[in-house]
Amino acid sequence: MWKMITVVLNYLATTLRIIADAAILLLKRSLKLYRPVQCCCQNRVRGKVVVVTGASSGIGFAIAQDLASKGARVYLAGRNIKTGQDTVLKLYKKTGNPAIHFLHLDLQDFSSIHSFVKSFLKCENQLNILVNNAAVFHHPAGLTTDQIEITYQTNYLGVFLLTSLLQSAIRQSSNPRIVFVSSEAHKLVTLQDLVAFKPRQLSPLTTFSDYVKIYGISKLALHLYSQHLVESLPGVYIGLTNPGNVWTPIYRHSWRSWSLKHVLIRLWCYIFMRDAQEGAQSTIHALNAQNPHSGQYINSFMVGEEKQPYDSSLVQRLVADSVFLTGLPCSCLPQAAVVTGFDGS
């Protein structure tokens, strides 16, 4: 009896706290104390050829809309062909830009990535900007058709392969930029977590913390890879951006039940998190900033943070492992990436 009363009281306390917090936020907004950041950079993407992954919804859609409205030639890359084609039409109606195209891309399938690159190179001989935005979070445990852990392949290995295959087109363009939409989650794991991770093994995903960990590992891998690109592509701007806490479809697998706890969490996220347009600003800034410093991590307030360099041997090991897992020939990558010792697990 007392246990039931305690549970009810805890739920009531949580509900009241959320309502109070929401009321405070609404008051701040009504008093115009809440001012989300917004990029005010000069348009530097007009006429540029741009690829945006995961552009059918959320942050990717907001980025693509901004690019299209500024006159860029935009290629949307996504898994669902019908949704992608509908997105092209929606963006055309919003921006009036006829140079918006969709190409199928499934980061969970290496063969799809190769097909995407072939299709793109039939349309364009150079690429000015690559926005690696697509990602998954809290995805049900499983392996891809390439026998790689799903989150790791979608968020990192697929991105690694796509970026590697597009490097020749990127090098041929003027003032090229490669931007990775990252997350503060990379700070929630350690380098030891990344080293110990086995891409070919199913991760035990039983708690929310487990999902955060695998997501953080995939984002940390992106940070190490970006350091490699800064060193191997001196003429290319490499950027990492943090959108902040943004309520987008990336949470489609999270808090799905209609339990009071999950309903309250979703309500809290909807009220307090940024929307996609706000979350896109750091990336929009990276795409339009004048003479940005390659390798910087641009936080959710569009402030560049200098990162401490990672151990170069660890970076080289990650790149070599990635070459092995994606089936790329070592000749496709800079010599610094060619090291041995991968155990294939």
Catalytically active residues, by annotation: 215
DSSP H or E run through 315? helix 312-326
Beta strands across the sheet bearing 73-78: 100-104, 73-78, 49-53, 129-132, 177-181, 237-241, 297-298, 304-305
Residue 41 tokens read as 């950079």
Distant-in-sequence, close-in-space partners of 293: CB < 8 Å, separation ≥ 6: 304, 306
Distant-in-sequence, close-in-space partners of 272: CB < 8 Å, separation ≥ 6: 21, 22, 25, 245
| Backbone CA torsion sign across 291, 296, 298, 299 | negative
Greatest C-alpha distance within the chain: 72
Give the separation between CA 305 and CA 263, rounded to whole angstroms.
36
Grouping H, G, I as helix, E, B as strand and the rest as coil, residue 273 is: coil
Query: Do the Cβ atoms of 109 and 83 come closer than 8 Å?
Result: no
Residue 292 tokens read as 């940005």
Query: Do the Cβ atoms of 10 and 17 come closer than 8 Å?
Result: no
Give the separation between CA 282 and CA 245, rounded to whole angstroms.
12
Q: Left (φ > 0), alpha (ψ -120 to 50) or beta: where does 71 sit?
A: left
User: Which string of DSSP letters, residue by residue, matches 237-252?
Assistant: EEEEE---SB-SGGGT
Query: Do the Cβ atoms of 135 and 250 come closer than 8 Å?
Result: yes
